[in-house]
Chain A
Amino acid sequence: MERFAFVLYRPLQLVPVLFGVSAVSFLLVHSIPGDPVRILLGTRATAEVLAKVRAQYGLDEPLIVQYFFFLKNLAAGEFGRSIIFKTPVMDLVATRISPTLFLLSYAVLLSVLLAVALATWAALRRGRFADQVIRLYSTAGLGLPAFWLGIVLIILFSIRLGWFPVSGYGAHFFGHLHHLFLPAFTIALALSPVLIRNLRSSLLHEMESDYVVTARSRGLPGSWIFLRHVFRNSLIPTITLLGINVGWLIGGTVVVEQVFSVPGLGSLMVGSIFARDYLVVQAVTLIFACAVILTNFLVDIVTVALDPRIRL
């Protein structure tokens, strides 16, 4: 249990990082040249609204005071108002977050399935044709642009074969599964090469371990040894790798949402950039950063749970 003590300490260590992240998000918007109020509210706001916002954000105060206003507002869940949608940013985020979460989970699931299947197949058929092909995929695949892959998959599976819809989110759970399959699969195809390289190499290394010989000397069959010993040992570095790549995953989701017109946070962010809806950009950036921090924390917990040798 003491190995999990870090769960208590880590949030304290994360406080400076969280402050830093919020500072960067704050500075992002505040480095835009021009009148900050005009930037935040657009050209059509009235004088009273301008004055009210000036007061709320302390926009006439020095930068550091403005930062504290920003933090105070954050704590209250107040991200400001979107210029384009004319609603509080918080509400906007609340509606758009579920498609992104769904897509991310779906993508992770498919990536893991794909990586486990291909890496295992390659490790068990080491040196043979299947292994060579998979290794080629895991090297060439590093250069697969997710946005291009998405388009190729749409051409093949939506347009030519008609199996999946071209875009959108769909209604109800199964609608989501259907609409988001191609986007999630796109991300999985783009992420899995990295995972496959690592898992395959891990598997091969563990398969040569001494404890495998011990297991065989007890008459345990290869498949049993593979599942109960080799696999568990190999999984640990790969899960860590998956955690490290969560930033990449989120970035991939942003692009893929654009390709497939999925109404999630990613497409919201891209749209807001073009519309100069800076408060939305700031909010989404901050949320994504918090997601990365949280995920890294969770991955650390999972790693400690899986590997009894680790102390963090």
Chain B
Amino acid sequence: MSALTLPARLLSRRFGAPRALQVGAAIVFLWLSLAAVPAVFAPYDPIVQDLGATLIAPSLAHPLGTDNFGRDVLSRIIWGTRLDLAMGVFGVLAPFVIGCVVGLVSGYFGRVVDALLMRLLDVTISFPYFVLVIAIISVLGPGLQSFFISVALVGWVSYARLIRAQTLVLKESEFILAARSLGYSKARIMFRHILPNAVLPAAVFSMSDIVIVILLGSALSYLGLGAQPPAAEWGVMIAEGQVFMATAWWISFFPGLAIVLLALGFSLVADGLAERFGVRE
């Protein structure tokens, strides 16, 4: 029972949730609802074309206008939510997991293993994040799958650093010494004892990272390297609308606004968590 009420308790004033966290969580919740049941909120179908209703400016029938295929922009944005949200959340999941493993192993075993892994880290961060991701996508071919693989290969770095820093400190602590004296295996110590205590800064960072990955993913889709048309992904919509900048500004404008508002939710959550748990940047 207590696990189910945990999210609600985390957000209550009594638990000490800062205002930023509450507002951010509310915004994210709104987007999650749109992603979960878009059909409930979207007035029109996102894919079906209506060539008799192309390039209509924002109006009562189409609050955010229609694009060059007559598709309702508002509905496309709502349906596209699940794509951008998925990019953000799953684009952080793999790096998080990989980073935790690398950070734990590197911090716990130290010496040669640590030196090697940290060299690998140094090399990876020497490339601009975006550049390395698109270089990998150039090899794998455009598409969302390539996006997730690329991000996993490049994005683990920040998490590895955070976890490693915590591991270095924790491995000298009393309760770890106690676990070792009880003969627990290294894997057990790392994952069941160190990790739960080390994970907080990484978890707080993951919220800001979701923002970074959403921006990255939508930029890639804009370039044509991520999600592909006719998907209603917001970056794709912005690219499609650029041709009509002069005559139908709304096609590019509103999807971008959606990105900003989705990112705002996660940024506020990140700020709120950092404040609440005293994690500094």
Instruction: Give the A-B pair count, Cβ closer than 8 A.
Output: 152
Quick check: A144 and B129 within 8 Å, CB to CB?
A: no
Residue tally, chain A, CB below 8 Å to B? 51
| B184 in contact (CB, < 8 A) | no
Stretch at the interface among A60-68, A72-80, A120-128, A251-259: A251-259
Tell which of A21, A144, A147, A284 has the most Cβ of chain B within 10 Å.
Answer: A147
In the bound complex, residues from chain A placing their C-beta under 8 Å from that of B263 are 142-144
A28-B136, A142-B267, A274-B224 given; A155·B131 CB < 8 A: no
In the bound complex, CA of A250 to CA of B128 (Å): 7
Categorize the interface residue count of chain B: 35 or more
Pair B119/A285 contact, Cβ less than 8 Å: no
| Interface contact B130-A147, CB-CB below 8 Å | no
Residues B264 and A140 in contact, CB atoms below 8 Å apart:
yes
Tell me whether B131 and A140 are in contact (CB under 8 A).
Answer: no
Contact B139 A147 (CB under 8 A): no
Contact between A145 and B256 (Cβ–Cβ < 8 Å)? Answer: yes
1/0 contact trace for B257-268 toward A, CB 8 Å? 001111110111
Q: Is the CB of B253 closer than 8 A to any CB of chain A?
A: yes
In the complex, A148 has a CB within 8 A of chain B: yes
A16–B142 alpha-carbon span in the complex (Å): 31
B245 and A151 contact, CB distance less than 8 A: yes
Closest to A159 in B: B246
For residue A156, which residue of chain B has the nearest CB? B249
Task: Say yes or no: is B105 at the interface (Cβ < 8 Å to chain A).
Answer: no
Q: Across the interface, do A147 and B219 meet the contact criterion of CB distance under 8 Å?
A: yes
Q: Does B166 contact A (CB under 8 A)?
A: no
If over half of A's interface residues share one DSSP class (helix, strand or loop), that class is named, otherwise mixed; here it is helix
B residues within 8 A CB of A282? 135
B57 CB–A CB distance under 8 Å: no
Closest chain-A Cβ to B62's Cβ sits at a distance in Å of: 19
Contact between chains at A270 and B129 (CB < 8 Å):
no
Interface flags, B124-151, vs A, CB<8A=1, else 0 = 1111111110111111000000000000
B130 touches A139 (CB 8 A): no
Nearest CB of chain A from residue B272's CB, rounded to whole Å: 11
- Whether a CB of chain A sits under 8 angstroms from the CB of B26 is no
Contact A145–B131 (Cβ < 8 Å):
no
Known: A16-B119, A289-B126. A273 touches B134 (CB 8 A): yes
Chain A proximity of B43: nearest CB distance (Å): 24
* Docked CA distance A289–B262 (Å): 31
Nearest-neighbour CB distance to chain A for B251, whole angstroms, equals 10
Q: Which residues of B contact A117 (CB under 8 A)?
A: none
In contact, A292 and B223 (Cβ under 8 angstroms): no
Q: When the two chains form their complex, are residues B127 and A143 in contact, meaning their CB atoms are under 8 A apart?
A: no
Evaluate contact between B225 and A251: CB separation under 8 angstroms.
no
CA distance A248 to B209 in the complex (A): 13
Residues of B within 8 A of A273 (CB): 134-135, 137-138, 225
CB–CB A292/B139 < 8 A? no
**How far is the CB of A97 from the nearest CB of chain B, in Å?**
15
Contact of A143 with B123 in the complex, beta carbons under 8 Å? no
Is B66 on the interface with A (CB-CB < 8 A)?
A: no
User: Within B199-227, which residues are at the interface with A (CB < 8 Å)?
Assistant: 208, 211, 214-215, 218-219, 222-225
Interfacial residues, chain A to chain B (CB-CB below 8 A): 16-17, 20-21, 23-24, 28-29, 31-32, 139-140, 142-149, 151-152, 154-155, 159, 246-252, 254-255, 258-259, 269-270, 272-274, 276, 278, 281-282, 284-285, 288-289, 292-293
Extra contacts, 11 of them, besides A20-B123, A270-B134 (Cβ < 8 A), are: A16-B119, A29-B139, A32-B139, A143-B262, A148-B256, A151-B245, A152-B252, A154-B245, A155-B249, A288-B127, A288-B131
Query: What are 15 sample pairs from A and B whose C-beta atoms fall under 8 A apart?
Result: A16-B122, A17-B126, A20-B126, A21-B127, A24-B123, A28-B138, A143-B211, A143-B266, A148-B255, A151-B241, A155-B245, A155-B246, A255-B222, A285-B135, A288-B128
